[in-house]
Amino acid sequence: MNRMKSLVLSAALAASFTGQALASHIVVAIESSVRTLNPHNASITLDMSVAGAAYEGLFTFNNKMEVVPNLATGYKVSDDGKIYTINLNKGIKFHDGTDFNAAAVKYNFEHEIKHKLRRASLLSNVA
C-alpha cells in the first residue's frame, strides 16, 4: 500500500511542477484497476487516492491532521449549528476556464445527492 501511495503522490507532485503549462495527460502507475475517477463516487482507497491527486476539495488536512481551508478561505457556523457559511477563494478557475464559485459548489452537492453517488450519505444532513 505504501508503494502505491508513493506512486500516486509522485505523479501528483510531478504534475504540480509543470509551471505555467497545463498538462493534457497525467499518467499514474498502479498495480490494479481504478473503478472511477469521480471523487463523489469513490468507495475504495485506490479510487480515492487517484481522484485526490486530480481534484481539490474545499478543505484538506495539514500535517497534524487538522482541517484547513483549501479552495475555501474558512467557514462560520450559526449559533444553532444548522447553518454553515463557507467562504470561497476568488479567482480560481476550472481546467476549462469556468469560474469556481458558489454555484459550482452547490451543483456538485446537488448532483451527488440527486444521483445517489456512493459518498452521498456524507451529505445526508445537508438541506
Question: What residue spans define the domains of the chain?
Answer: 1-55, 57-127
Per-residue pLDDT of the chain (127 residues; tens, 9 = 90+): 455 554 455 555 444 444 444 556 777 677 778 877 777 777 778 877 877 777 888 998 999 999 999 999 999 999 999 999 999 999 999 888 999 999 999 988 888 888 887 777 777 887 8
* pTM score of the predicted model: 0.64
Overall fold of domain 57-127: Dipeptide-binding Protein; domain 1 (3.90.76)
Q: Which of 40, 39, 105, 111 is nearest to 72 (CA)?
A: 105
d(CA 7, CA 93): 27
User: Which three three-digit cell numbers place residue 109?
Assistant: 452537492
Q: Which of 81, 90, 16, 87 is nearest to 54 (CA)?
A: 16
User: Which three three-digit cell numbers place residue 22?
Assistant: 497545463
